[in-house]
Structure 1
Amino acid sequence: MCGIVGLFLKQPKLEPELGAMLSDMLVVMNDRGPDSAGFAVYGDGERGRVKLTISGTSEAALREAIAGLARAVGESLSVTLRHTHAVISLSAINEQKARRWIAARADIGLVGAGKRMELYKEVGLPERLAQQFRLAEMAGSHGIGHTRMATESAVTTRGAHPFSTGLDQCLVHNGSLSNHNGVRRVLQHEGLSFETENDTEVAAGYLSWKIREGASLKEALTQSLVDLDGFYTFVVGTESGFAVLRDPIACKPAVMAETDDYVAFGSEYRALAMLPGIDKAHIFEPAPATVYAWERG
């Protein structure tokens, strides 16, 4: 079943409230996906630096790994610890060295990377995870979230959404892809690798591959209507905004609200009901096979 939420703030003055608003939206979707949850928040970035979000088994394990990573890359790291995850800011010139060091470790994993994106996901009730990761404290311009009811792969941290396969890019998905194994083989031939059996990771990898080949996000999503079979709703986060796409049948529920201050997405209207000004918002159901995208200039 799963639940998806997304929030894009048009007005910078609202950025300190992003986490609190997104947290309320995510918690409402608790019963649509009680086995795991995750979210991505796009906050401040620094020129010449990259954020790596890593996950570990405990805070102690993370602290030990971070100390080792600092020695490996030869620089002081800016670190934010949240529950089982840590966001590490380091010089962009050391990104690949850091990635290789993390990949060689069995006790930690790379969850996401980007100039602005921080990505958190874990097994457990969405309401509890929002509290443990302190989502309500976070600020930013936009974010997306997901509550998962697993149907096609294991309930694990790696199998939770969002999936990130490109810098500042992540994807959440409600539905099921029927041809993901075939698409996976094509993408593996193109040099992509996968950590899970989740069909959503394949969809995320597909978009990253198309963008790497020169397509815009809108072009990649439009082509996915041809290349990805099944029923699905995608919400994609990027450095500058977010996008929504439903398959041509559009059997999965989806509703959107737009005001002068924000654009919001929810699998159900109740995820939007507490937003400020919702009574005056333009409420609509996104049309099938249509890409909706919002970006800041």
Structure 2
Amino acid sequence: MKKLQFDRMKNDKGFIAALDQSGGSTPKALETYGISEDAYKDETEMFQLVHQMRSRIMESPAFTKERILAAILFEKTMDSKVEGLYSADYLWEKKGIVSFLKVDKGLDTQKNGVQLMKPIPDLEALLTRANERHIFGTKMRSVINEVNKEGIKAIVAQQFEFGKIICGAGLVPIIEPEVDIHTVNKKEAEAILKEELISHLKALDENCQVMLKLTIPDEDNLYADIMKLPNVVRVVALSGGYSREEANEKLARNHGLIASFSRALSEGLNDNQSDDAFNEMLNKSIQNIYDASIK
């Protein structure tokens, strides 16, 4: 199964659906979907509602392997079921879609212009469970807010430190050092980031295969040479707060870069929509993102 999934992630056309909103971002995701905070009384009910939203997306006839390579899942989604199967099993067995697991515990306070990831004390146990749930890879996010070489070096070093542990567990890590789209001199921050990424990628053991999830760069095709490095399975893009239209427009100018969108994917979806209206909107979103990902 892993070989089939690896070949799919490396070679097939499509994009990654990010369905991994966690505790902090879940209320906003639900509100955007038309479910206000007074609709649930505690965290348990909140996560039940967001799983229903994610299940509705995954079960949609628009959500298929022809355009979607993989989905990124939150830990609670991994442990929840869709049509009687654990989420990753449902996605692979019923849809032919690969699963990744969000493993970070959120962002630390800002230092040197960046927000490193908080410690992940239970990482090895979580990776064991991920393998048991037939997860292919992981995803972990940190954020660059300013042009600060020391901070950017630290953020990339931390990402690769965890990435090596994840590779050792037989999973493919998505390394995600996001550059905030509002960063002053964003282009300069991305140039420093690229230099650090290449340095760490070239130092990786040949058996450690990674993916990168990066903000769509201000300089078109900035990451084209990174895509050619032997340790890189794929380079994917986050929407980063851009609208779906703007994100797709920027993405389409970066050849070989494919989407891994969350907000841009679910934009326009609403709990009150009929199934036909919901599926029509999701189908349109998926087609637009797919078109931008294959240019």
Does TM, scored on the shorter chain, surpass 0.5? no
More relative contact order, 1 or 2 (CA 8 Å, 6+ apart): 1
| TM-score for the superposition, normalised by structure 2 | 0.36
| TM-score for the superposition, normalised by structure 1 | 0.36
